[in-house]
Amino acid sequence: MMSPALLFLLFLLMADLSVSVPVNNEYQNNELVGDSEVVPRPKANLQNIVLHGDIAEPNTLSRNADPCTAKGCKWPKSGHYVYVPYFISANYSEEERNIIIRGLQSFHLSTCIRLVPWKSGDVDYIYIESKDGCWSYLGRQIGGQYISLEKRGCLYHSTVQHEVLHALGFNHEQVRSDRDNYVWVHFENIKPGREHAFEKKQTNNLGTPYDFTSVMEYPNDAFSKNGKPTIVAKCNPNYKFGNAKEMSANDIFRINKLYDCQFPVLKRSASRSYGP
């Protein structure tokens, strides 16, 4: 005879299974079984990219966030929403998938971005896979694009949001066009070869101030070769920043502004930040 506590535990386990996110069954040992049309194949050629920090750029093109968002790298809007199809590699465990899905769905709470499962016929989409490190393309690429979330080191809520923000067209905070008003960048402390991750871009700042709490801000000692800071806040040289656990109010505001999200589609959590 099972004790009530054990029965309850069993119930919880079964309840948990019943609400778990369905795993993709089209793969087996990374081999496709069945219909070869059911898995997208991003056109982005991985042999031909340059990684700038964690931003993948096609070798032949050098694009910044907002210059490209003005020239077609924004995701299209359909009605009130901007649908971004995604496909998650079957190589993640269910627990890992759930971290990723939670990160994707966080955009639904406060923006008009809707990450939706890829379906046959979707041409532009993100393909999330555990490659070497955490990285993303900047803005929408034609024909599908990767976001790499390596199992070891990238499966955090903030990292999922960060890489998706790149795919939506956002650059790092410290490369903003007006960053010199807010931070000093100490190139003498940066690891050789990593300087490009700190080069200023002609970003469209969408009327928002520099935000040290942005999930797109690097930590003070990012890519430091000697333990000394690479980015220092002018307002307070001792200020420690760049470890945001989730998108800031500014990150959310910028998405809504860039994509012209209409407030009635936003849910409760957003209306708290943005008034009625």
Residues annotated catalytic, as ranges: 163
Of 115 and 175, which has the nearer Cβ to Zn ion?
175
Q: Residues with Cβ < 8 Å from 210, sequence gap 6 or more?
A: 173, 176, 178, 179, 181, 182, 183
Of 215 and 266, which has the nearer Cβ to Zn ion?
215
Please tell me the count of residues contacting Zn ion according to CB under 5 A.
1
Q: What is the DSSP code (8-state) at residue 248?
A: -
Residue 162 is labelled as binding a ligand: yes
| Residue pair 199/177 in contact by the 8 Å Cβ criterion | no
Least Å from the CB of residue 171 to Zn ion: 8
Two structure tokens written together for 128: 């999330």
Least Å from the CB of residue 53 to Zn ion: 6
Of 175 and 232, which has the nearer Cβ to Zn ion?
175
Cα–Cα distance, 276 to 270 (Å, whole number): 10
Of 39 and 206, which has the nearer Cβ to Zn ion?
206
Least Å from the CB of residue 238 to Zn ion: 25
Of 54 and 66, which has the nearer Cβ to Zn ion?
54
Residue type (1 letter), 76: P
Least Å from the CB of residue 70 to Zn ion: 20
Beta strands in the chain (DSSP E): 27-28, 31-32, 49-52, 55-58, 77-78, 81-88, 113-117, 126-129, 134-137, 145-149, 183-185, 231-233
**Per-residue binder mask for Zn ion (CB under 5 A), 146-185, x = binder:** ----------------------------------------
Position 251 contacts Zn ion (CB under 5 A):
no
**Per-residue binder mask for Zn ion (CB under 5 A), 34-73, x = binder:** --------------------x-------------------
Least Å from the CB of residue 135 to Zn ion: 7
130-148 b/e (C-beta count within 10 Å ≥ 16 → b): bbeebbbbbbbbeebbbbb
| Residue pair 240/77 in contact by the 8 Å Cβ criterion | no
Cα–Cα distance, 78 to 76 (Å, whole number): 7
**Residue numbers belonging to the annotated binding site for Zn(2+):** 162, 166, 172
**Residue numbers belonging to the annotated binding site:** 162, 166, 172
In the complex, which residues of this chain contact Zn ion (CB under 5 A)? 54
